[in-house]
Amino acid sequence: MEPVVVAIDPGREKCGVAVVAMDGTVLEQAVIPAPALRERLLGVELPVAAYVVGHRTASREARAVLQAIGVPVERVKVVDEDRSSEMGRRRYWRAKPPKGWRRLIPTGLQVPPEPYDDFVAVELAERYLSICRAEGGEGSAPGMEK
């Protein structure tokens, strides 16, 4: 089985979590209550190349959860979250375009009707994978042998 990246958009009340293959394919994504993060991370059944965590709200708490479940510190990668919520919102609208009369209003003026933290987590994973490709070639992760 190929390794994956588990990306976390940490928050105080909820977290976005995405499991992304090294080629960028999104395998799973979900918005979960923050207290359920530990159980969700323990439920990943694929080999994990890296855990990617956004650097802002509740980042320290998410990294503490990773440490508590025994993830080596070198496999935890902190990624810049600058404009990631904006990019996550755009991803949300591409995946779930407005319907009915709402499609007449530009999506930039709308707020998604449900949390989209999972789309932000996908954005964080892709940022990390982009760095990996730039440093080590297509789809590779530093410190992970194929």
In tens, the pLDDT along 6-43 reads: 999 999 999 999 999 999 999 999 999 999 999 999 99
Whole-Å CA distances, 132 to 60, 140, 142: 23, 6, 7
Check whether 142 has a pLDDT greater than 90: no
- Average pLDDT on 71-100 reads 96
Please tell me which of 54-58, 118-122, 133-137 the model is most confident about, judged by mean pLDDT.
118-122
Query: Per the CATH hierarchy, to which homologous superfamily does domain 4-135 belong?
Result: YqgF/RNase H-like domain (3.30.420.140)
CB contact at 8 A, 34 and 80: no
Distance CA 31, CA 37 (A): 10
Whether this prediction's pTM lies above 0.85 is answered by yes
Residues in the chain: 146
pLDDT digits (tens, 9 = 90+) for 109-130: 999 999 999 999 999 999 999 9
At residue 1, the pLDDT reads 84
Residue 73 scores a pLDDT above 50: yes
User: What pLDDT does residue 139 have?
Assistant: 47
Q: Parse the chain into domains and list their residue ranges.
A: 4-135
